[in-house]
Structure 1
Amino acid sequence: MTDLFDRNLVLGAPLADRMRPENFSDYIGQKHILAPDKILRKAIDADKLFSMILWGPPGSGKTTLACLISKKTKSFFQPFSAVTSGISDVRKALDEAKTRKKFHQQKTVLFVDEIHHFNKTQQDAFLPTVENGTIILIGATTENPSFQVNAPLLSRARVFHLRELSEDDIIKLLKTAIKDKIRGFAKLKIKIDAAALRHIAKLSEGDARDAYNALELAIVTAKKDNFGTINITTADAEEAIQAKFIRYDKSADGHFDVISALHKSVRASDIDASLHYLARMIEAGEEPLYIIRRLMRAASEDIGMADPFALMLASATQQTISFMGMPEASDALAELTIYLAKAKKSRAVDSAYTKAVDDIKNLRLDPIPLDIRNAPTKMMKDFGFGKGYEPYKTKDHRPKNLHKRKYWHDETN
């Protein structure tokens, strides 16, 4: 099994791997979980580790944190990749951990990178050894553990959420790499514009690995002047990182987070935020019919009878998308989004229907009154079906036990 921390592989490794910090004083970001007074930092410093899931976006420092833990703990630290390993590898690692504990009284810290790539059977294999203390499991994932880690395993671990690094954090990392004499580029004469550093930091969107890769590419490709100095301009930085990469996995959290943000921005009548999240989805290649379905829901749920035209416009927009396709229909989606955000809001329809459904689920269903039942045959008429029915007479047509129930409250008057 490949050792993720094998120092023999450092020579020639990518800059992101070479620049992993050796101690917490060099670790950038994640103060909300790694400040000296935080429980995780205290546990690491005291070597009182517990099973945990490190959840965060790419390049936020999950593997780096695991590497620091490996330097601090007296337990046997075993890195493990869920991408390249199977159930046989899992069982072998667990057997070795049992032997280590039985004959050497040493616990094993098993770091499983990309744990969300393991299926239920593979994740279940960890349960007995986590439960009896044979291993301390540290899983790293970019995906929401609530959906990607088995509930029994999740209940035996603490989840720590790592956040995207700020632009200033990224700039600190890049400056350190340029000045580092052993792992970085201090042996080279490098001059880089502040604007170039800021550009890389901005487009890397909190991903330290992306930022390091862009810096390394810029250094390799930038021209030297007559004095041997590598001058990196904003143009060099733009060429190195090129187009901004929009992180948006249709099967992951980003997909649901952005559509939720769009709906809630429309609901709050925040036009600019609504347009932002709409553009974010469209530019990431989201299926337009997925977007229009949610906007149709917003038109009926959050606007309803306050402006019935909203749902009509949503339906027309759906037809426009089908006829024109994308990207031509993007303006139609934007027009609908603006209209819905500006429209008067009312949840009266949704509230009324929800109350009706609640009664269906929780109250006894009394018989439908005879006078409004269907009576297609003589026998049914003889039984009184449809008897006394007056088409336009105002009366209570509900089952008898619901006569005092009130669902609809007109907010438009």
Structure 2
Amino acid sequence: MSQASITTLFTPSGRSQHASTGASHAASSSKAAHTRKHSELEDAFAPEATPLKRPRVTVSSRLQSVAPLAERLRPRTLNEFVGQPHLTEHDSLLMSHLDRGATGSIIFWGPPGCGKTTLARLLATHTDAVFKELSATDSGIGDVRKVVEEAKNLLALTGRRTVLFLDEVHRFNKAQQDIFLPFLEQGHLQLIGATTENPSFRLTSALLSRCRVFILERLSDKDIKKILTQAVERVSETDDSASASHSALPTSSPNEVLVDDDDDNTSDVASSQPDIEEPLTHPTSTQGSTASAGFSHAAKPSIDLPNYPQLTPKVLSSIVALSCGDARTALSLIELVLSAPTSSDETKLLAALRRSVATAYDRTGDSHYDMISALHKCVRGSQGSAALYWLARMLTAGEDPLYVARRMVVCASEDIGLADNHALPLAMATYQACQVIGMPECRINLAHLVSYLSEAPKSTRSYEAYERAEEAAKLDPSIPVPLPMRNAPTRLMKELGYARGYKYNPDYLHPVTNEYMPIQFCHDEFLRKEGDMTGKTWDEDALRQWVFEENGGQPWLGQPSEVDQIGGK
């Protein structure tokens, strides 16, 4: 700044210039205030305008928006729950306990997608209990202890019970399962466990004795179709309402995020209660239905939905078939269809759906053992077609062919046994072939073996003989071997009587007798003669069923005459 400028600032004329400038600003401010006041008076007497409220976007709504369709459309009340009528009907055992205000500790056992998690949440809501949810796949004893402490404090302060839902409860080992025992006995916690595995195999007897096991069945095709139809209607209504709301909202810039002003974005993501803050609107039937809504049993399925022309009756039926009673799979498939272009070709869409479905087979689960049991029993029953079907089911699902071959090796001795001594060598050859060749070619070797074993004559003489011998052996494991049956390689052993009196069979031209068995079992015959029918059952009804269902109504050739039957009795 120049010296002249500094001098001007500090002269009286400079001060007067600044004073006049301040007065000008003051006058301008007064005029602006007057203008604002006049504007406020005009607004007060102007017609009231309805402001456009921006939608509320919370943390829970953001998480809900990205959840799969199966999660977003879970039923909110027991009336909306589809399937499992043996559990949800008013006269069922579960509902009778629920009417008394508490369900106790229970285990839900059923296949995936049958409603175990949904039913657990609805029960907790119905009983006004605090709901806590854990998964045994990512939780441990520390998480359970934390829930128990909160449950005890809440029960002491408010009297409200806590329901802990533990998904995949079979994933807890025996030591982890024991953590629940004292808390369930004292009533500090109610446990609802969900498992797809047989509880009698995977849960401890101590835990099972403190819980009631309820079995959930696989959903029927009718149930799946009802769930799909109602889901599509709800999605369609949501899309229509979203379009209407979007057209009424002001245009925002691309970077603008519509968040309610009073939302501080600090709400808890995880809640101890089922999310019922914003209940889904129940769709009403377009066919003149009653007041029943949601997934209620009164809803009439319909696919007359112009918004989704790609969802044809054939596509819907295919989804029902591909879901195999799994509602989660069905909703995932319907979500793919709804997101597909409306001009999609039906044939290509069906092919894409079939490729997207994974085979419902767990090589370590119950289906693994159920199918191998079915295969073995079909071979035992000489049902070759049925045995090949179950073989194909297992192999196409990815089962290890060596596992099937090992089981058939057992079957060759257990069921065919002495009736065909070629069965065991063929089974061992097939096992080696599977080792050398592998899939997919070794499926032919397995088909050869399964067909042969199915048509081979059956005999369980050796297997049953061992069972009887084993039972006798367990009666007294301390019974000594008879002296004639012992070897005598030393002089001392000979002097003690080892091998004394033993007759070496090849030295004789005729049969000889030795003391082969302990005296307690010397008259027992474990391996019975061929044709011995001791202990076999004659069931006239079972024979008649076989005659009409499998033998074309022709009598069984081995059926004895009435005289023989009377004599046999």
Structure 2 length as normaliser, TM-score? Answer: 0.66
- 1:282 matches 2:400: no
Q: Do 2:178 and 2:207's aligned partners in 1 also have CA atoms closer than 8 Å?
A: yes
**Pair 181,200 (structure 1): closer, same or farther in 2 beyond 3 Å:** closer
Aligned-pair CA distance for 1:358: 1.8
Tell me whether 42-51 or 302-311 shows the greater mean CA deviation.
42-51
Aligned-pair CA distance for 1:378: 4.7
Matched letter for residue 207 of structure 1 = D
Q: Do 1:45 and 1:72's aligned partners in 2 also have CA atoms closer than 8 Å?
A: no
What is the number of residues matched between the two proteins?
402
Q: Do 1:109 and 1:136's aligned partners in 2 also have CA atoms closer than 8 Å?
A: yes
1:179 matched residue in structure 2: 233
Aligned-pair CA distance for 1:185: 6.0
- 1:73 matches 2:127: yes
Matched letter for residue 288 of structure 1 = P
- 1:403 matches 2:457: no
1:357 matched residue in structure 2: 470
2:405 matched residue in structure 1: 292
3-state SS, counterpart of residue 133 of structure 2 = strand
Tell me whether 103-112 or 377-386 shows the greater mean CA deviation.
377-386
Distance 2:176 2:495 in 1: 66
1:39 matched residue in structure 2: 93
Q: Specify which of 505, 511, 528 is matched with residue 391 of structure 1.
A: 505
Q: Specify which of 445, 448, 455 is matched with residue 335 of structure 1.
A: 448
Q: Specify which of 366, 375, 378 is matched with residue 262 of structure 1.
A: 375
**After superposition, what is the alpha-carbon deviation per residue over 1:52-105, rounded to whole angstroms, capped at 9, x for unaligned?**
011111111111112221331122222233333332222111111001111111
Q: Specify which of 24, 36, 56 is matched with residue 110 of structure 2.
A: 56
**Pair 394,10 (structure 1): closer, same or farther in 2 beyond 3 Å:** same
How do residues 123-162 of structure 1 correspond to structure 2 at under 5 angstroms? Answer: 123-162=177-216
List gaps (5 residues or longer) in structure 2.
1-59, 242-305, 533-569
- 1:307 matches 2:420: yes
Aligned-pair CA distance for 1:31: 1.5
Distance 1:39 1:232 in 2: 48
Distance 2:347 2:100 in 1: 45
Distance 1:185 1:343 in 2: 63
- 1:236 matches 2:290: no
Q: Specify which of 277, 296, 307 is matched with residue 189 of structure 1.
A: 307
- 1:250 matches 2:363: yes
Distance 1:53 1:83 in 2: 17
Q: Do 1:250 and 1:286's aligned partners in 2 also have CA atoms closer than 8 Å?
A: yes
Aligned-pair CA distance for 1:369: 4.4
2:329 matched residue in structure 1: 210
3-state SS, counterpart of residue 96 of structure 1 = helix
2:159 matched residue in structure 1: 105
Distance 1:410 1:33 in 2: 52
Distance 1:94 1:278 in 2: 47
**Pair 286,270 (structure 1): closer, same or farther in 2 beyond 3 Å:** same
List gaps (5 residues or longer) in structure 1.
1-5, 226-230
3-state SS, counterpart of residue 70 of structure 1 = helix
**Pair 195,46 (structure 1): closer, same or farther in 2 beyond 3 Å:** farther
**Pair 374,72 (structure 1): closer, same or farther in 2 beyond 3 Å:** same
Over the matched positions of the two proteins, sequence identity in percent amounts to 43
**After superposition, what is the alpha-carbon deviation per residue over 1:19-72, rounded to whole angstroms, capped at 9, x for unaligned?**
112223322211222222111122234423110011111111111112221331
Pairwise CA RMSD: 2.5
1:3 matched residue in structure 2: none
Aligned-pair CA distance for 1:383: 5.0
Q: Do 2:162 and 2:189's aligned partners in 1 also have CA atoms closer than 8 Å?
A: yes
Q: Which structure has the greater CA radius of gyration?
A: 2
Aligned-pair CA distance for 1:363: 4.1
Aligned-pair CA distance for 1:233: 2.5
